[in-house]
Amino acid sequence: MLGLMQRRELLISSIIQHAARHHGDAEVVSRRDDGQIVRTTYEKLERRARKLMGVLRELGVEFGDRVATLAMNSDRHLELYYAISGMGAVCHTINPRLAPDDIAYIIGHAEDHVLFVDACFAPLVAAIAPRLAAVLRAVVVLAEPYEMKPLGARLDLPPGMALHCYESLLDAAREEPDWPVFDENAASGLCYTSGTTGRPKGVLYSHRSSLLHAFQINGADAVGLRATTRVLPVVPMFHVNAWGLPYAAPMVGAALVMPGRHLDPVALLGLMDGERVDLSVGVPTVWLNLVNHMRQSGARFSTLKRIMSGGAALPRALVAAFAELGVEACQGWGMTETSPVVTFNEPKPATASLKGEALFDHAIKQGRALFGVDIRALGPDGAETRWDGKSQGDVSCRGHWIAKGYFRSPETEIADDAWFPTGDVGVIDANGFLQLTDRSKDLIKSGGEWISSIELENIAIGHPDVAEAAAIAAPDEKWGERPLLIVVPREGHEPRPDDVRAFFAGKVANFAIPDQVIVVEELPHGATGKILKSELRTIYASRR
Q: Which of 202, 244, 311, 393 binds ligand AMP (CB under 6 A)?
A: 311
Pick the catalytic residue: 348, 441, 445, 507? 445
Is 450 an active-site residue? yes
Is the Cβ of residue 514 or residue 529 nearer to ligand AMP in the bound state? 529
Is the Cβ of residue 168 or residue 289 nearer to ligand AMP in the bound state? 289
Q: Which of 331, 339, 351, 437 binds ligand AMP (CB under 6 A)?
A: 331
* 340 belongs to the binding site for ligand AMP (CB under 6 A): yes
Q: Which of 78, 132, 240, 531 binds ligand AMP (CB under 6 A)?
A: 240
> Dihedral of CA 487/490/491/495: which sign?
negative
- Part of the chain binding ligand AMP (CB under 6 A), chosen from 24-32, 264-272, 307-315, 482-490: 307-315
| Whether 505 contacts 513, CB under 8 Å | yes
What are the residue ranges of helices labelled H in 239-392?
Answer: 240-243, 245-252, 265-274, 284-297, 316-324, 356-363
Is 337 an active-site residue? yes
Is the Cβ of residue 88 or residue 315 nearer to ligand AMP in the bound state? 315
* 517 belongs to the binding site for ligand AMP (CB under 6 A): no
Residue 266 beta carbon to ligand AMP: minimum distance, rounded to whole angstroms: 26
Burial status of residue 290 (CB atoms within 10 A of its CB: 0-12, 13-18, 19 or more): buried
- Give the chain's radius of gyration (CA, Å): 24
Secondary structure class of 487 (helix, strand, coil): strand
* 285 belongs to the binding site for ligand AMP (CB under 6 A): no
Is 445 an active-site residue? yes
* 339 belongs to the binding site for ligand AMP (CB under 6 A): no
Pick the catalytic residue: 40, 93, 193, 437? 193
In 3D, which of 23, 50, 28, 24 has the Cα closest to residue 39? Answer: 28
Residue 414 beta carbon to ligand AMP: minimum distance, rounded to whole angstroms: 17
48 sits in the region (left: phi over 0; alpha: psi -120 to 50; else beta) called alpha
Task: Give the distance between the most distant pair of CA atoms in the chain.
Answer: 72
Residue 399 beta carbon to ligand AMP: minimum distance, rounded to whole angstroms: 15
User: How far apart are the C-alpha atoms of 245 and 304, rounded to whole Å?
Assistant: 17
Residue 454 beta carbon to ligand AMP: minimum distance, rounded to whole angstroms: 7
| Whether 401 contacts 244, CB under 8 Å | no
Binding mask 419-438 for ligand AMP (x = CB under 6 A): ---xxx-----------x--
CA angle 438, 499, 450 (to 5 degrees): 25
Pick the catalytic residue: 27, 176, 337, 455? 337
* 310 belongs to the binding site for ligand AMP (CB under 6 A): yes
Q: Which of 18, 362, 439, 525 binds ligand AMP (CB under 6 A)?
A: 439
Pick the catalytic residue: 62, 144, 450, 507? 450
Element at 79 (helix H, strand E): helix 75-86
Secondary structure class of 221 (helix, strand, coil): coil
Window 181 to 200, contacts with ligand AMP (CB under 6 A): 193
User: How far apart are the C-alpha atoms of 538 and 536, rounded to whole Å?
Assistant: 5
Residues 6 or more apart from 467 whose CB is under 8 A from it? 288, 292, 461, 487, 488, 489, 490, 491
Q: 340: cis peptide before it, omega within 30°?
A: yes
Residue 11 beta carbon to ligand AMP: minimum distance, rounded to whole angstroms: 25
Strands 480-489 and 516-519: parallel
Is the Cβ of residue 188 or residue 422 nearer to ligand AMP in the bound state? 422
* 336 belongs to the binding site for ligand AMP (CB under 6 A): yes
Cα→Cα distances 412→202, 401, 406, 407, Å: 11, 17, 6, 9
Window 60 to 89, contacts with ligand AMP (CB under 6 A): none
Is the Cβ of residue 155 or residue 318 nearer to ligand AMP in the bound state? 318
CB-closest chain residue to ligand AMP: 335
* 255 belongs to the binding site for ligand AMP (CB under 6 A): no
Binding mask 347-376 for ligand AMP (x = CB under 6 A): -------------------x----------
Residue 284 beta carbon to ligand AMP: minimum distance, rounded to whole angstroms: 8
Residue 310 beta carbon to ligand AMP: minimum distance, rounded to whole angstroms: 4
* 446 belongs to the binding site for ligand AMP (CB under 6 A): no
* 333 belongs to the binding site for ligand AMP (CB under 6 A): yes
| Whether 483 contacts 471, CB under 8 Å | yes
User: How far apart are the C-alpha atoms of 20 and 251, rounded to whole Å?
Assistant: 10
- The values of phi and psi at residue 289, to 5°, are -65, -40
* 93 belongs to the binding site for ligand AMP (CB under 6 A): no
* 118 belongs to the binding site for ligand AMP (CB under 6 A): no
Cα→Cα distances 450→21, 93, 367, 414, 440, Å: 55, 37, 22, 30, 11
* 528 belongs to the binding site for ligand AMP (CB under 6 A): yes
Is the Cβ of residue 103 or residue 335 nearer to ligand AMP in the bound state? 335
Is 175 an active-site residue? no
* 166 belongs to the binding site for ligand AMP (CB under 6 A): no
> Any idea which residues carry the catalytic annotation?
193, 337, 445, 450
Q: Which residues bind ligand AMP (CB under 6 A)?
A: 193, 240, 310-313, 331, 333, 335-336, 340, 366, 422-424, 436, 439, 528
